[in-house]
Structure 1
Amino acid sequence: MDFKCSDVNLWKEALSSYSARIESLNKPNIVSLDDFYRNQLPPLIHQRNPNSYLTKTELSKLMQWKLTRGKWRPRLLDFVLSLDEALVKSASQKAFQSLPDISKAVSELTVLKGIGPATASAVLAAYAPDVAPFMSDEAMVAALGNSKDYTLKQYLIFVDKLQSKAKELSSEGDSFTPSDIERALWSSAVGAKMSDLKSVPDPEANSNKNSKRKRKR
């Protein structure tokens, strides 16, 4: 998916294939973790209004989701498991109350050990998908051309781009959030990767064909 693409139907198609792409990863618990992150966690957080917060258990599952959908880095999970419950609650509460000031919200969360801007973005996206998208590698590459810079400054540029794209695609009566844009980009990138893998010839299959040909001769 080219980020500059303005065809709403192509974006819808990419977004609607998200669940199938999640399943295609064939990773342990990815389907249930994704269901937790997208469908169960947001209402849990919002039930605690007006002082919404995240529990340590929820943050731990969110981190598992992030690492399973992306690159597995168990050390980050260890950091989360060693956090103080009260600290997780107060940091997330302050972060949610800081929105729509994304810079302040991320800064409130990154006081927690093991929580960088990318994980902070996942927390904010669970609470306010219409404001803050998750900072995934795939969406970063599509929107900014790289995914190596996980700074707050880079995230703010990323947010601005995805918010603008969501607004652009929503102008024709359809409704897209920045988080929809991120998922569509991720889905498209994973789909393209799978197509590339399928198109690479299997060297063993070719060698078997060649040996059969030789035997026939």
Structure 2
Amino acid sequence: MVEFAHSDPGLWSEALSSYPSQIEALGKPNLVSLDDFYRNELPPLLHKRNPSPYITTSELSKLMQWKLTRGKWRPRLFDFVSSLDESLVKLASQKAFQCLPDISKAVSELTPLKGVGPATASAVLAAYAPDVAPFMSDEAMEAALGNSKDYSLKQYLTFAKKLQDKAKELSSEGQIFTPSDVERALWSTAIGEKVKGSQSQLDPKNGGKAGAKRKRKT
């Protein structure tokens, strides 16, 4: 388990290495394959489109499916993104990637697309530049800022800066961490605690009954 204040790279490495198992532990249909697409397939696809990298509507739709499956499902967002015009998505993402490392400008190029808010925009940018832009997950925001209800650009910039600084702090020991590594480590810790809590509620020693469910912040 790692908390945001921790500065031991070993603890963070351990939390980060547990990410794949935590993805599996959620037991959500297609999440393992969606996560593989987002982390391993999409980044090289984006980078091979030189000299102006971009994302396609189908890729953005699959990214949205990953985001909603890993977090909270919102079908309307998926429908909005899936119906976006291909040329608009291509142009907006080209401009966004060209704006980096200016995260504020990059996010602002993507959010005019229907269904794409700062959180989804952050997922697009994190796929292209994980060393600059972390994904704005509820779990990581709660850990870093103590709040996961504000999805504004201002909040994302505060969040991104904290994760960039933490990545730099952890990397000073020799091992390299990106802001996206920090996000995944925080997410893994939060999900690990959530899964552990669910298992303990169902433990026969506790009568085999689940306790009152805690509402998840969105």
| TM-score category, normalised to shorter length | over 0.9
SS in 2 for 1:198: helix
- 1:15 is aligned to 16
1:206 offset after TM fit, Å? Answer: 2.8
The letter for the 2-side match of 1:15 is L
Q: What is the CA distance between 1:191 and its match in structure 2?
A: 0.4
3-state DSSP of counterpart to 1:131: coil
Name stretches of at least 5 consecutive residues in structure 1 with no aligned partner: 209-217
Report Cα offsets for 1:106-145 as digits up to 9, x if no partner: 0000010000000000000000000000000000000000
Count of equivalent residues: 208
Q: What's the counterpart of residue 213 of structure 2?
A: none
CA distance in 2, matches of 1:147, 1:171: 28
TM-score (norm 2): 0.92
Tell me which amino acid in the other structure corresponds to 2:131.
D
Aligned pair 1:159/2:160, yes or no? yes
Q: Which residue number in structure 2 is paired with residue 214 of structure 1?
A: none
Equivalent in the alignment of 2:25: 24
What is the CA deviation profile of residues 154-200 of structure 1, one whole-angstrom value per residue up to 9, with x for unaligned ones? 00000000000000000011000000000000000000111112222
Distance 2:116 2:87 in 1: 16
Aligned residue number for residue 134 of structure 2: 133
- Tell me the percent identity: 75
Q: Is the 8 A contact 2:16 2:188 kept in 1?
A: yes
Higher helix proportion? 1
Aligned to 2:114: 113
Amino acid of the residue matched to residue 117 of structure 2?
G
Q: Which one is further off, 132-141 or 199-208?
A: 199-208
1:148 paired to 2:149:
yes
Distance 1:207 1:18 in 2: 28
Are residue 102 (structure 1) and residue 103 (structure 2) matched?
Answer: yes
Higher Cα radius of gyration: 1
Listed as ranges, the gaps of 5+ residues in structure 2 are 210-218
The answer for the alignment partner of 2:87 in structure 1 is 86
> 1:169: which partner in 2?
170
Letter in 2 for 1:156: L
4+ runs of 1 displaced by more than 4 Å?
A: 201-205
1:161 partner letter = K
Structure 2 CA distance for aligned equivalents of residues 50 and 134 of structure 1:
24
Structure 1 residue 204, shift from structure 2 partner: 10
